[in-house]
Structure 1
Amino acid sequence: RGMKIIDLYENVYSQLKGVNATLDGIDEAIGSEVEREYVKAEAYGLRGFYYYLLVNLYGEPYHYNKTSLGVPLKLTAGLVENGLVRNTVEEVYVQIVKDLKVSAELFEKNPKRVGNYRLNVTSVYILLSRVYLYMEQWENAVKAAGRAIETAEGLTNYTSISSSTFYMPTYAHSEVEWRYGNGQLKYGYVPSQELLSKYGDNDCRKKFWFNVGGKTTKKTPDYAEGMGPTNTLRISEAYLNRAEAYAQMDKTNEALADLNDLRRCRITGYEDISIENVTDLLDEVRWERRLELCYDEQRWFDLRRYGMPSISHKYKAKKVDSWLMFTLKEKDPLYTIPFSTTMIMNNNRLEQNVSAYEPERKGI
């Protein structure tokens, strides 16, 4: 079956065009003030989320080089004839934080809503805690994650679920705050043995998220809810974001409390652990992050902010081909992806990333 190759840069800016048009005209829209505030809150939240995606794909990691070029900030829907230059990574992050904070303030003014594939107050605070974590603003990350947890319905306790049929992307789980995205990873992706080996025998995630053949069922939709988006933003991330920030602040007791709270809802018969060494605790939290957020499209961004370590993967295009090992070296330029030729042609002021000039990588 043929597949259309999507230019993510073009696709996300297309979504931004709709968001900006909404914000440009919402104050004159027909409807109650409450409804206008909800729409504005959703639009600002989405704009922050979209720029978070763009700057982490096409800009260098914030902590590594925040003065480097990020992506162009386009904050209105009006057409621009002569193209746009790239703002710095720091400038884009400042705008992301600004948009998410405005979104949160607007959501806070009105009762919380959950469902219909739309952002809410908790989901925006989760995103804000994630962005602060990337910026290494630990106290702000703790505060945002804490507010997310305060406004949430709570973690879903996997250990009390007896059904053999499990759907991750459903609002029936108390921890699911936002369903979104096209669900590109629904079928056919097999987790690595390294990843699977990290789940213990009593870890319910291993039972619920991966079928007998090893493929992921984490994004398989609940057909009773219809074929909606299959990505999820869940309150479990807020616990991990806060635990990591606490560990970075040398607050081991607080970090352990969040880590243990999450694990008790995932592992049957779990007994709380105690770790005194901050480095070991941080490693433990980050491993838990990999287990909990697998297939949530965050691992690549996490590796970037962890220092862009060298990574290797086996790949073959056809079954009859031999496996080849491809490697990204530490701090590889290709940790920041190049813009497509089409986008460069469409915006003659768009400066290309150096990764575009890297030699083609050969497998061995």
Structure 2
Amino acid sequence: MLSLSNIFNRTFFIRSIGSFFLLLVFCTSCEDFLEPKSQSEFIPKTAEQMNELIVSAIPEPTNSPSLTGGLLDLVTDDIATLDRYIDPRNPAEDLWYSQSYIFGVYGMYSWQPDYSTYMQSNGYWSYDLYSGIYNKLVYVNAPLDYMDKVSGSDELKNYVRAQAYTLRAFYYLHLVNIYGVPYSSAPNGPGIPIRTTASKENRKMTRNTVGEVYDLIVTDLQEAISLFENVEPSYQYRQFRPTLPMALLLLSRTYLYMENWEQAAFYAQKLIDEWPQFQIKNLNDVIREGNTNVHTTDASADADLKRKQTFYKDFLTYNNPDVIWLYSKAADMVMLTAKEMTSSTRLQNNQTYAMITHASNDLLNCYDDKDLRLATYFVRDLFGEPAYTDGGADAPTRPARNYHAYGKMQIRDDGSGIPAINVQRFIPVDDSRTYGQALRITEAYLILAEAKAMLGLPQEAVNALTSLWNNRFAAGTPSSYSAGTDVVTLVRNERRREFCFEALRWFDLRRWGMPRMEHVWYSTSNGTRQTFVLEKNDPGYTFPMPIDILTANPDLSQVPLAGDSRNPM
């Protein structure tokens, strides 16, 4: 694994810009980067070219570092694993976990301190998002370092700076909530190293405190907002680019994580009021568009009929008025949660297999039967498929049409808009062009609701929640979620329902007191039930740095670990 100083000594990609190509070669210092190495290399000399350079810092599907979205979901209480798959055509053939990638799931799902070893040994490059994001920070910091040395209008330069500050804050907020201790429990505790320049720094690579990282994030976002608000409106919002609404939402989220309720509410309300073009998507419209909740009750119906009656909406599109910004790629989100285990005896004859993970009963039980999210947010099995269980002595057998641990994203189709079936499953599009995550206006409403609840303003909190519920239940059907529940719990439950499988649950659990969790796993050799526990305030709520990063950077300390390995109860 490369050290941080060596990360800059990498050759990146050639990107087409209008009628010329921009070759970005980062050496051990940014000064080297700005010096042409040959006549074939193009070095940015104008603000417009710097504006193109910033594209390389954006986590698009084609050049995205893994943001571990699907992996972060694996460590929460929203996902369960199967005990075994029983083929009703051959009950004697029980299919246990056997594929090598199962151990990647195991390392994350059981909260192993050396999870990176499990991931790396099974070919998963996403175990180390640390290096991937720090690579991106080179592209973020370079324009901030050298904008004064290029030609161009002040307005365009400020637009590029605003994008860079927004992206830097986005990346650091993500990193510090994975590798740093929770701000709410230890603001002076170990965070992550801060780099604010693309130039080589002759200093030890040590951790800044969590508070210092958050201070940088707030400063960057405040500067970005100020710059965005003083450029022409056409620069304030452009699809695919960092924008003013994005900066407002990130600052509101940052203050929420810092428990600065007043500022969290202020920026959430500012975003809602000043950007009315962003609206919560009404799921009644989704139901009408796709006939989502209609399934055949005929178990003998052929697959073509069944898939025509099953519709999954792609929420990750700029055609969705809820979406402020798209990022990451779908393949990363389902890297492990859409994996199957197979039966080798049936590979050539109607292949038998089952998904390793699925939505937990605990998550599904959070939804009212009339909540339209059950029909639209989860990809399900086809009707009539074999049932399988999720473990737990008191857990009922899951229905044949199970709820998978992914959804809201584009599902492969057969070319006519009808979902395509891949060996009897609906599978997300996992190419390098399909987005996997989004920042949404709905988050602003839920930040506003939580902040108001914590400020002792329950009615204002419920008002914000009602704006959401009006779009999540059939017209004329009131939400039953408020009955007998205190408003803080109400908001927290609503965040869980709304943001399932969007990589926010882990961050919420960290800031809500790091509750005790149990995950059930079954032995890969004989199916023996094992229960792994993440205790309240467990050190496992902070991801350890990957071992090879520590080896390359001996001054970078490790966070406290829960022993060398986490053993089952």
The TM-score, its normalising length taken from structure 2, stands at: 0.60
Aligned to 1:185: 333
Residue 323 of structure 1, CA deviation = 3.8
Aligned to 1:196: 364
Aligned to 2:217: 96
Residue 257 of structure 1, CA deviation = 0.5
Aligned to 1:167: 314
Q: In the alignment, which of 208, 211, 219 is matched to residue 409 of structure 2? A: 219
Q: State the alpha-carbon separation in 1 of the partners of residues 205 and 487 from structure 2.
A: 44
Q: State the alpha-carbon separation in 2 of the partners of residues 316 and 102 from structure 1.
A: 50
Q: Which moved more, 1:26-35 or 1:48-57?
A: 26-35
Residue 24 of structure 1, CA deviation = 1.2
Q: State the alpha-carbon separation in 1 of the partners of residues 455 and 480 from structure 2.
A: 19
Aligned to 2:567: 362
Q: In the alignment, which of 155, 164, 184 is matched to residue 43 of structure 1? A: 164
Q: State the alpha-carbon separation in 1 of the partners of residues 267 and 377 from structure 2.
A: 28
Paired amino acid for 1:130: R
Q: State the alpha-carbon separation in 1 of the partners of residues 526 and 246 from structure 2.
A: 45
Q: State the alpha-carbon separation in 1 of the partners of residues 481 and 498 from structure 2.
A: 20
- Structure with higher helix content: 1
Q: State the alpha-carbon separation in 2 of the partners of residues 152 and 239 from structure 1.
A: 13
Determine helix, strand or coil for the equivalent of 1:232.
Answer: strand
Q: How does 1:8-19 map to 2 (within 5 A)?
A: 8-19=129-140
Paired amino acid for 1:219: M
Aligned to 1:131: 254
Contact 2:523 2:530 in 1 (8 A): no
Q: In the alignment, which of 94, 101, 105 is matched to residue 226 of structure 2? A: 105
Determine helix, strand or coil for the equivalent of 1:307.
Answer: coil
- Quick one: structure 1 residues 254 and 273, their matched pair in 2 at CA, closer, same or farther if it must change by over 3 Å? farther
Q: Which moved more, 1:196-205 or 1:182-191?
A: 182-191
Contact 1:315 1:325 in 2 (8 A): yes
Contact 1:128 1:141 in 2 (8 A): yes
Contact 1:169 1:222 in 2 (8 A): no
- Quick one: structure 1 residues 322 and 160, their matched pair in 2 at CA, closer, same or farther if it must change by over 3 Å? same
Q: Which moved more, 1:253-262 or 1:344-353?
A: 344-353
Determine helix, strand or coil for the equivalent of 1:62.
Answer: coil
Q: How does 1:160-309 map to 2 (within 5 A)?
A: 160-161=285-286, 162-164=288-290, 165=311, 166-183=313-330, 184-186=332-334, 188=338, 190-213=358-381, 214-215=403-404, 216-220=406-410, 227-268=433-474, 269-271=476-478, 280-309=486-515
Residue 53 of structure 1, CA deviation = 1.3
- Structure with higher strand content: 2
- Quick one: structure 1 residues 323 and 122, their matched pair in 2 at CA, closer, same or farther if it must change by over 3 Å? farther
Paired amino acid for 1:119: P
Aligned to 1:322: 528
Identity rate, percent: 35
Q: State the alpha-carbon separation in 2 of the partners of residues 319 and 220 from structure 1.
A: 35
Structure 2 gap ranges (5+): 1-100, 102-121, 291-310, 339-356, 382-402, 418-428
Q: What per-residue deviation string (whole Å, max 9, x for no partner) do you get for residues 322-358 of structure 1? A: 3422111110111112112221222222122112x62
Q: State the alpha-carbon separation in 1 of the partners of residues 283 and 407 from structure 2.
A: 15
Q: How does 1:116-155 map to 2 (within 5 A)?
A: 116=240, 118-150=241-273, 151-153=275-277, 154-155=279-280
Paired amino acid for 1:242: L
- Quick one: structure 1 residues 260 and 172, their matched pair in 2 at CA, closer, same or farther if it must change by over 3 Å? same
Residue 353 in 1 paired to residue 556 in 2? Answer: no
Residue 83 in 1 paired to residue 204 in 2? Answer: yes
Contact 2:473 2:479 in 1 (8 A): no
Residue 27 in 1 paired to residue 148 in 2? Answer: yes
Q: State the alpha-carbon separation in 2 of the partners of residues 169 and 28 from structure 1.
A: 38
Contact 1:182 1:230 in 2 (8 A): yes
- Quick one: structure 1 residues 231 and 363, their matched pair in 2 at CA, closer, same or farther if it must change by over 3 Å? same
Aligned to 1:63: 184
Contact 2:482 2:490 in 1 (8 A): no
Residue 177 of structure 1, CA deviation = 0.4
Q: State the alpha-carbon separation in 2 of the partners of residues 169 and 265 from structure 1.
A: 17
Structure 1 gap ranges (5+): none
Q: State the alpha-carbon separation in 1 of the partners of residues 522 and 229 from structure 2.
A: 50
- Quick one: structure 1 residues 276 and 185, their matched pair in 2 at CA, closer, same or farther if it must change by over 3 Å? closer
Q: Which moved more, 1:66-75 or 1:267-276?
A: 267-276
- Quick one: structure 1 residues 84 and 265, their matched pair in 2 at CA, closer, same or farther if it must change by over 3 Å? same
Paired amino acid for 1:125: L
Instruction: Tell me the number of residue pairs that the alignment of Structure 1 and Structure 2 aligns.
Output: 361
Q: State the alpha-carbon separation in 2 of the partners of residues 178 and 145 from structure 1.
A: 16
Paired amino acid for 1:363: P
Residue 5 of structure 1, CA deviation = 2.5
Q: What per-residue deviation string (whole Å, max 9, x for no partner) do you get for residues 221-277 of structure 1? A: 688999232201100001001100000001111111000111111111342679699
Q: State the alpha-carbon separation in 2 of the partners of residues 55 and 212 from structure 1.
A: 34
Q: State the alpha-carbon separation in 1 of the partners of residues 380 and 124 from structure 2.
A: 30
Q: State the alpha-carbon separation in 2 of the partners of residues 159 and 24 from structure 1.
A: 48
Aligned to 1:313: 519
Residue 158 in 1 paired to residue 158 in 2? Answer: no
The TM-score, its normalising length taken from structure 1, stands at: 0.91
CA RMSD after TM alignment: 2.5
Contact 1:263 1:270 in 2 (8 A): no
Q: State the alpha-carbon separation in 2 of the partners of residues 290 and 309 from structure 1.
A: 14
Determine helix, strand or coil for the equivalent of 1:181.
Answer: strand
- Quick one: structure 1 residues 31 and 317, their matched pair in 2 at CA, closer, same or farther if it must change by over 3 Å? farther
Paired amino acid for 1:350: L
Q: How does 1:330-345 map to 2 (within 5 A)?
A: 330-345=536-551
Determine helix, strand or coil for the equivalent of 1:179.
Answer: strand
